[in-house]
Copies of this chain bind each other. A is one copy, B any other.
Amino acid sequence: MVAGYNGKILRVDLSRGKTSVDEPEEGFYRHYMGGRAFVSYYLLRELNGGVDPLGPQNKLIFAGGPVTGIPIAGSGRNSVGAKSPLTNGYGDAEVGGFWGAEFRQAGYDAIIIEGKAERPVYIWIEDGKVEIKDARHLWGKTTGECQKLIQQESGISGVRVAQIGIAGENQVKYACVVNDINHAAGRSGMGAVMGSKNLRAIAVRGRQKVELADSRAVTSLARRIRDILKTHRAAVAMSQNGTAGGLVALNAAGGLPTRNFKEGVFEGAEKISGQLMNESILAGRGGCYACPIRCKPEVSVGEPYNVDPLYGGPEYETLAALGSDCGIDNLEAVAKGNQQCSAYGLDTISTGASIAFAMECFENGILTDKDTDGMKLNFGNAEAMLQMVEMIARREGLGKVLADGVAKAASAFGKGAEEFAMHVKGQEIPMHEPRFKPGLGVGYTISPTGADHCHNIHDSAFTMRVGGALRALGVSEPLPCQELSSAKVRMLVYGSLWQHTLNCMVFCNFVPFTTAQMVELVTGITGWDTNVWELMKVGERCINMERAFNIREGKNKADDYLPKRFFNAFDSGPLKGVGIKEEELVKAIDTYYGMVGWDKEGTPSLAKLQELGIEWVNGA
Contacts and interface: CB of A to CB of B under 8 A. Distances in A.
Contact of A472 (B471, B514, B529, B605): B529
Interface residues of chain A: helix, strand, loop or mixed (majority): helix
Nearest to A27: B476
B613 A474 contact: yes
Contacts of A474: 30-31, 533-534, 537, 613
A533 B473 contact: yes
A531 B532 contact: yes
A463 interface: no
A502 to B, nearest CB: 14
Interface stretch (A136-144, A155-163, A410-418, A588-596): A588-596
A395 to B, nearest CB: 45
A519 interface: yes
B591 A610 contact: yes
A606 interface: yes
Interface stretch (A94-102, A314-322, A483-491): A483-491
A611 to B, nearest CB: 4
B530 A533 contact: no
B487 A610 contact: yes
A438 to B, nearest CB: 16
A595 B608 contact: yes
A516 B532 CA distance: 10
A371 interface: no
A595 B611 contact: yes
B30 A476 contact: yes
A12 B472 CA distance: 35
Nearest to A536: B533
Contact of A594 (B529, B533, B537, B597): B597
A534 B597 contact: no
A606 B607 CA distance: 17
Given A486-B615, A605-B594, A472 B610 contact: no
B534 A611 contact: no
Contacts of A326: none
Nearest to A592: B607
Contacts of A606: 591, 594
Nearest to A605: B594
A171 interface: no
Nearest to A537: B474
Nearest to A615: B486
Contacts of A533: 472-474, 515, 531-533, 536
Interface in A31-59: 31
B530 A472 contact: yes
Contacts of A595: 597, 607-608, 610-611
A493 interface: yes
Interface string A323-345: 00000000000000000000000
A457 to B, nearest CB: 15
B490 A519 contact: no
Interface of A: 27, 30-31, 468, 471-474, 476, 486-487, 489-490, 493, 514-516, 519, 529-534, 536-537, 590-591, 593-595, 597, 605-608, 610-611, 613, 615
13 contacts: A31-B476, A472-B531, A472-B533, A473-B533, A473-B534, A474-B533, A474-B534, A516-B519, A519-B531, A531-B533, A591-B607, A594-B607, A595-B610
Given A472-B533, A516-B529, 8 more contacts: A472-B534, A474-B537, A519-B531, A531-B533, A593-B607, A594-B607, A594-B611, A595-B607
